[in-house]
């Protein structure tokens, strides 16, 4: 007949189980899937402000981000003040970010990849001479970043990001493409609120 566990033994076992569960959850967030809350309206109508999404951190270890991917990343330090890392010609998007990372995360859509030539017309990304599919976006509305018709070339290992709410998004148009090392992962699903659950 097995001996009954002591109270102390049961407590130690519970602590070990809880510690393991917390460690496992942190491991999942660090290497596999991370939840992220949308901080602004820059991705409307695709994702609303305060919605929560899941970001997988695995696929970009095996393949590169593609045009159309919704990604979470660390922006350049100049993003808060729309500071570009290179001199901008009139009517031109920012071609280079400042070299330091900010201490926050953004979520945007990839609209151009390394080596692409890009300009902006009525809020639409024209990449290598062709408008990329973007019928899901909100019209730009004539703001400062709606028409930047002087082309730029995306540097190696950088990705140009734009919000789907083209007239109300601070994005690569103003602070430059994002280095690949600053990309955290690809958003693939919304999980909150319950009436907005879905897969991208």
Here the CATH number for the domain that contains residue 39 is 2.10.109.10
Residue stretches of the chain with pLDDT short of 70? 1-5, 9-10, 12-32
- Residue range 4-51, pLDDT digits in tens: 557 876 676 666 565 544 544 444 454 457 889 998 999 999 999 999
In-domain check, residue 18:
no
Q: Indicate the average pLDDT of the chain.
A: 87
Q: Does the annotation mark 108 as catalytic?
A: yes
Which residue range(s) make up the domain with 52?
35-199
Nearest in space to 173 (alpha carbons), one of 83, 72, 102, 68 = 83
Residue 131 bridge partners (DSSP): 126
Please give the tally of structural domains in the chain: 1
In-domain check, residue 88:
yes
Radius of gyration of the chain (CA): 21
The catalytic position among 41, 77, 81, 108 is 108
pTM: 0.84
The catalytic position among 5, 6, 34, 42 is 42
Q: What is the DSSP string of 114-165?
A: TT-EEEEETTEEEETTEEPP-TTSBP--S-TTS-EEEEEEPPTTEEEEE-SB
Residue 165 bridge partners (DSSP): 138
In-domain check, residue 143:
yes
Q: Does the annotation mark 81 as catalytic?
A: no
Place of tokens 């992220």: 36
């Amino acid at each position: 007949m097995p001996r009954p566990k002591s109270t102390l033994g049961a407590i130690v076992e519970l602590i070990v189980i809880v510690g393991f569960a917390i460690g496992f959850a942190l491991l999942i967030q660090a290497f596999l899937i991370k939840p992220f809350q949308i901080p602004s309206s820059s991705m409307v109508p695709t994702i609303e402000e305060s919605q929560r999404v899941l970001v997988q951190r695995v696929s970009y270890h095996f393949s590169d981000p593609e045009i159309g991917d919704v990604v979470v990343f660390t922006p350049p330090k100049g993003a808060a003040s729309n500071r570009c890392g290179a001199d901008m010609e009139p009517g031109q998007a920012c071609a280079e970010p400042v070299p330091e990372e900010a201490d926050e995360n953004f979520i945007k859509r990839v609209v151009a990849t390394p080596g692409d030539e890009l300009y902006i017309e009525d809020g639409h990304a024209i990449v290598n001479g062709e408008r990329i599919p973007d019928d899901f976006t909100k019209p730009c509305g004539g703001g400062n970043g709606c028409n930047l018709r002087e082309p730029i070339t995306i540097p190696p290992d950088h990705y140009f990001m734009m919000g789907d709410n083209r007239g109300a998004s601070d994005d690569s148009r103003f602070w430059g493409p994002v280095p690949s090392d600053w990309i955290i992962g690809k958003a693939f699903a919304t999980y909150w609120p319950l009436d907005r659950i879905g897969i991208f």
